[in-house]
C-alpha cells in the first residue's frame, strides 16, 4: 500500500517486501464481549459528499497519553488509499481503541467500525461516539441531561467516594496526605453525575457517561495521567496547578455535562472489550485493521484508573496509598517486554484483514528495524515516520526525551 506525500512533507517512507513465515501464540487473552449489532453494510455515501461536524474530531476527547490526533491526517491518507482501491466503504477494526480518536476518524470511510479495548472507559467512549445520530433521541438525551445538570448545580450530594478519596476537604487549606485530583466541588459533581447516570436505562448511559469521562480527564489536577496529582514541589503537599499554579483555568473550571457530539456520517458499529489477541475468533473479515498496542511498561489500566471508577462506579476495596489506584487494575501482556513482539506478530498474523496499519514509536519495546522485519513476514510493508514533542507531565515520565519519532507501518497482507 502506498500513500503519496509531498517532498516537503516532514514524513519519511520506505517499503520492504515479505520474508519469513509468521509464528503464532496458542493462548489468546480471554475476556467478555459486547453483543454485536447487525453486520449488514450501510448504503455507501462518498465521504466528500458529507461535511463532518468539525467538533466531532476535536471535542469531548480524553486527555490521553499516546493520543494519535497528530497522526490522524497520515492515517486517513492510508485508509483513503485503501478505499480508493476497493471502491466502496470499508469494514475497519480499531483493535486498541483507547480514547477513540482514530475510530472517530475511520467512521467517515466505513460501513462498519469495530472498536475494541481492554478498558471499560474506552468501551463507553466507543459505544457513544461511534453511534449514528439516527441511533439517538437527541431531544431525550438533552432533556435528561438538563434535569441532571439542574440537580447537580443545586448542590445535590451523595457523599460519594470520589469526593472522599480523591479531593481535599478544603480547597484553600489542603493538608498533608490528602489526594488532590479534583476540587471539592468537582469531586462532588462527579459523584452526583455518576450516581444519577447509573440509575438510567442501559441504552441511555453511554450518551451521558462518555461526555462525563471527557470532562473528568480534562478538569483534573494532573498533566494527563492519573498516576499522580500536582503538588507543591517544596512541601510535597497537593496543590492545584503545582508549584507554578499552572493550567488553573482548566483545573478549576466547573464540570458540567453537555450533549455528545456525534458524527454526520452513517455506519454500523461493533464494540468489544477484550484482550486484542482474542479478537480473531470474534471478528470476521475486515478491510483495514488499525493496531496501536501499548508500546512500553506504562499501563493504561493504572494511568486512567479514575475513568474506570466512574464507568463502574463501585467503591474500590483496596487502593495504593499515594494516588489511590485500585490494586485490581487491568494488566496487559503488551506492557511486558518479553511478550510484546510475540503478541503483536500473533495478532497481525491471525486477523483476517486485507490491510494492517500499525502505530509504534521509537521508545517502544520493539525497535523499528525489528518491527519492519516482523511485519514483512505478514505482507508488504510501507513505513512512515513523524517526529513530535513528547509528553512529560508526570514524575514517571520526566526522564523521557524531548522528541520521539512515531512510526506508522502500512501492511498489505499477502
Return the DSSP state at 34.
Answer: P
CA-wise closest residue to 407 among 372, 356, 380, 355: 372
pTM for the model: 0.87
Structure-block grid coordinates of residue 108: 467517515
CB 272 within 8 A of CB 124: no
CB 359 within 8 A of CB 406: yes
* Least trusted range by pLDDT, from 62-71, 123-132, 206-215, 293-302: 62-71
> Cα separation of 79 and 348, whole Å?
17
Does residue 29 register a pLDDT over 60? no
CA-wise closest residue to 182 among 195, 194, 169, 173: 169
Structure-block grid coordinates of residue 264: 454526520
Residues in the chain: 414
Quick count: other Cβ atoms within 10 Å of Cβ 77?
16
> Cα separation of 190 and 316, whole Å?
16
CB 310 within 8 A of CB 156: no
Per the DSSP assignment, residues forming a β-bridge with 70 are none
Read off the pLDDT of each residue in 104-113 and give the average, rounded to a whole number.
98
Spell out the long-range contacts of 228-235 with Cβ–Cβ below 8 A and sequence spacing 24 or more. Answer: 228/322, 228/323, 228/394, 228/395, 228/396, 229/179, 229/180, 229/181, 229/323, 230/180, 231/180, 235/176
| DSSP string for residues in 346-381 | HHHHHS-EEEEEEEEETTSSS-HHHHHHHHHTTEEE
Residues 171-219: tens digit of each pLDDT: 999 999 999 999 999 999 999 999 999 999 999 999 999 999 999 999 9
Please tell me whether residue 189 adopts helix, strand or coil conformation: helix
> Cα separation of 290 and 11, whole Å?
19
Owner of C-alpha cell 476537604 = 169
| Alpha helix stretches (DSSP H) within 27-66 | none
Per-residue confidence (pLDDT) for residue 178, from 0 to 100: 99
> Cα separation of 137 and 305, whole Å?
30
Does residue 125 register a pLDDT over 90? yes
Residues 241-298: tens digit of each pLDDT: 999 999 999 999 999 999 999 999 999 999 999 999 999 999 999 999 999 999 989 8
Amino acid at each position: 500500500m502506498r500513500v503519496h506525500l509531498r517532498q516537503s512533507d516532514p514524513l519519511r517512507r520506505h517499503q520492504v517486501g515479505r520474508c519469513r513465515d509468521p509464528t503464532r501464540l496458542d493462548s489468546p487473552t480471554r475476556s467478555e464481549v459486547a453483543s454485536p449489532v447487525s453486520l449488514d453494510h450501510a448504503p455507501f455515501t462518498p465521504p466528500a459528499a458529507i461535511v463532518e461536524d468539525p467538533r466531532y474530531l476535536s471535542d469531548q476527547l480524553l486527555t490521553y497519553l499516546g493520543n494519535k490526533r497528530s497522526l490522524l491526517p497520515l492515517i486517513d491518507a492510508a485508509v483513503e488509499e485503501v478505499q480508493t482501491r476497493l471502491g466502496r466503504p470499508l469494514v475497519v477494526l480499531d483493535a486498541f481503541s483507547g480514547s477513540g480518536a482514530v475510530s472517530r476518524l475511520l467512521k467517515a470511510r466505513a460501513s462498519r467500525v469495530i472498536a475494541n479495548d481492554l478498558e471499560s472507559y474506552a468501551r463507553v467512549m466507543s459505544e457513544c461516539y461511534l453511534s449514528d445520530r439516527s441511533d439517538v433521541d437527541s431531544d431525550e438525551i438533552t432533556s435528561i441531561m438538563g434535569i441532571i445538570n439542574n440537580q447537580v448545580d443545586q448542590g445535590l450530594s451523595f457523599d460519594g467516594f470520589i469526593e472522599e478519596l480523591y479531593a481535599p476537604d478544603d480547597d484553600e487549606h489542603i493538608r498533608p496526605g490528602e489526594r488532590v485530583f479534583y476540587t471539592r466541588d468537582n469531586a462532588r459533581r462527579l459523584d452526583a453525575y455518576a450516581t444519577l447516570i447509573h440509575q438510567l436505562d442501559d441504552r441511555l448511559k453511554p450518551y451521558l457517561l462518555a461526555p462525563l469521562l471527557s470532562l473528568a480527564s480534562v478538569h483534573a489536577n494532573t498533566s494527563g495521567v492519573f498516576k499522580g496529582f500536582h503538588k507543591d514541589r517544596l512541601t510535597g503537599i497537593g496543590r492545584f496547578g503545582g508549584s507554578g499554579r499552572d493550567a488553573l483555568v482548566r483545573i478549576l473550571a466547573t464540570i458540567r455535562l453537555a450533549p455528545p457530539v456525534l458524527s454526520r456520517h452513517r455506519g454500523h458499529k461493533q464494540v468489544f472489550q477484550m484482550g486484542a489477541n482474542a479478537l480473531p475468533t470474534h471478528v470476521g473479515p475486515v478491510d483495514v485493521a488499525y493496531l496501536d498496542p501499548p508500546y512500553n511498561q506504562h499501563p493504561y489500566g493504572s494511568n486512567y484508573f479514575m475513568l474506570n471508577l466512574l464507568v463502574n462506579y463501585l467503591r474500590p476495596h483496596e487502593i495504593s496509598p499515594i494516588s489511590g489506584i485500585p490494586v485490581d487494575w487491568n494488566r496487559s501482556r503488551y506492557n511486558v517486554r518479553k511478550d510484546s513482539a510475540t503478541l503483536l506478530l500473533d495478532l497481525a498474523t491471525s486477523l483476517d484483514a486485507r490491510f494492517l496499519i500499525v502505530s509504534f514509536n521509537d521508545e517502544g519495546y520493539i525497535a523499528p528495524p525489528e518491527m519492519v522485519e516482523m511485519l514483512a513476514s505478514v505482507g508488504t510493508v510501507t513505513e512512515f515516520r513523524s517526529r513530535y514533542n513528547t509528553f512529560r507531565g508526570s514524575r514517571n515520565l520526566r526522564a523521557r526525551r524531548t522528541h520521539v519519532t512515531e512510526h506508522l507501518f502500512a501492511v498489505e497482507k499477502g
